[in-house]
Amino acid sequence: MDDRTNFADTPEATDIAYHFHAYTNARRHAEVGPMIIEDGDGIHVRDNNGNRYIEGMAGLWSVGVGFKDRRLIEAATRQLEKLPFYHNFGHKSHGPAIELAEKLVEIAPVPMSKVFYTNSGSEANDTVLKMVWYRSNALGKPEKKKVIARNRAYHGVTIASASLTGLPNNHRSFDLPIDRVLHTICPHYWKEGRDGETEDQFATRCADELEALIQREGPDTIAAFWAEPVMGAGGVVVPPPGYYERIQAVLAKYDILFVADEVICGFGRTGEMFGSTTCGIRPDVMVLSKQITSSYIPFSAIVMNDRFYDPIADESDRISTFGHGYTGGGHPLGAAVALENLAIIQDNDLVTNAREVGAHFRARLATLADRPLVGEVRGIGLIAAVELVEDKAAKSVSTVGRLGAMMNTAMQRNGLISRNMGDSLGFCPPLIITRDQADEMFEIVEKSMGEVEAELGL
């Protein structure tokens, strides 16, 4: 048995002793310990030492209406007092789940018909993949089971959703990806474009590479294509104009479903209610989470059209049940908070705020383009990234993640919590951020970059 009696009596020491953290070097954590966040209000959080920070990532791309919103707290309290839990198995339902399903179908960017509830984006993408296979069997096409995602995509961390994810550290030592999950080129023109290739030519090449992959694997074996409208954890990648138009033409040619992962993009982040609208996507399925409740409650939803739903419903009739579901799927507390969260977004016109303040913030970030460490500034709406490089011409670094970690540390020291994805600095503040707060956020970025440049002797 571990002897833990010698740990100092502090929250940090207790965390080191007992808490195994996500996305963390476990051995390194034992040396440095946690940053403990105790309080949040608006766009700010405070640690247990009293230090106040702008939460420049909205937690994990998700706290859209900010921290400590009274309307959400009161909505949760009302629901806890009325019906703290119920499920949707075996023809059971409850008011919040019914009302939210109707609302999500109503506001969807393309005609949709049904909503299935899960608890996280990972679970939702995992469930959609199971549904894709179930649907192919229902259609009498047992060979049509392969799916295609993209390099640098992020779709979650369950065995199936991590396979859809296209990031190496989500695969290494996990024996992933599983078979039947394929990957195609990431639509990042700055990094993947060839010398002399225009954005339009690059978009065409992406579609051509997708079609070539379909042809190699056999068109009758490919069931679905997964894409985040704007890629988040892969570095905030905004595909070039024309990309989705060409991709969707290929999918239509081979009768392949389009699954839009709106976990980060949904509910205003891109300057429209959904990233699919921003990018001209006509999905068969949408995966929603994070900002659906501003992450006050774990919650997610799958919104689907009849083309996707009908064969699944027919198969459930043949078998006598759809043998899948989660105890917490459609949880009344989560559904009630989601309904109020959507009302807040609409009542306060936060989608417009994201579009306008986001444009202002990205314009400020663009002024960094000539700094020696900056390779690219990119983004759309209220989501952005600054790509750091050592060699601007070669668009390269000597050690991946070193510059990103240095900047992340400097920004945190100066009062801004962000996240580096390798050497991409991500910015995704709450939708409620004001223009003045965006300026304050930028000034911390600029100051921190100056400190890192000085540290590097630039």
pLDDT digit string, tens, across residues 39-89: 999 999 999 999 999 999 999 999 999 999 999 999 999 999 999 999 999
Residue range 72-347, CATH number: 3.40.640.10
Whether the pLDDT of residue 155 is over 90: the answer is yes
Q: Classify 340 as helix, strand or coil.
A: helix
Sign of CA dihedral 222, 224, 226, 227: positive
Q: Classify 383 as helix, strand or coil.
A: strand
- Could you give the C-alpha distances from 276 to 8, 98, 245, 270, in angstroms and in order? 51, 24, 12, 9
Which residue from 237, 260, 240 is spatially nearest to 383, judged by alpha carbons?
Answer: 237
pLDDT of 361 reads: 98
pLDDT of 206 reads: 98
pTM of the model: 0.96
Task: Name the average pLDDT for the chain.
Answer: 97
Indicate the pLDDT class of residue 2, thresholds 50, 70 and 90.
very low
Instruction: Report the C-alpha gap between 187 and 181 in whole angstroms.
Output: 18
Whether the pLDDT of residue 1 is over 50: the answer is no
> Averaged over 86-111, what is the pLDDT?
98
Three-class SS of 144-201? CCEEEEECCCCCCCCHHHHHHCCCHHHCCCCCCCCCCEEEECCCCHHHHCCCCCCHHH
Please list the residue range(s) of the chain that carry CATH number 3.40.640.10: 72-347
Q: How does strand 146-150 pair with strand 181-184? A: parallel
Indicate the pLDDT class of residue 380, thresholds 50, 70 and 90.
very high
pLDDT of 9 reads: 84
Whether the pLDDT of residue 90 is over 70: the answer is yes
Count CB neighbours of 109 within 10 A: 22
Q: Classify 402 as helix, strand or coil.
A: helix
pLDDT of 3 reads: 41
Please list the residue range(s) of the chain that carry CATH number 3.90.1150.10: 42-65+349-455
Distance of CA 432 to the CA centre of its chain: 19
Residue 53's φ and ψ, nearest 5 degrees, are -135, 145
Whether the pLDDT of residue 5 is over 60: the answer is no
- The matching CATH number, chosen from 3.20.20.10, 3.90.1150.10, 3.90.1310.10, 3.40.50.2300, for 42-65+349-455 is 3.90.1150.10
Instruction: Report the C-alpha gap between 150 and 2 in whole angstroms.
Output: 43
> Averaged over 376-394, what is the pLDDT?
97
> Averaged over 400-408, what is the pLDDT?
97
> Averaged over 260-265, what is the pLDDT?
98
Which residue from 443, 438, 431 is spatially nearest to 58, judged by alpha carbons?
Answer: 431
Q: How does strand 374-380 pair with strand 300-304? A: unpaired
Whether the pLDDT of residue 440 is over 90: the answer is yes
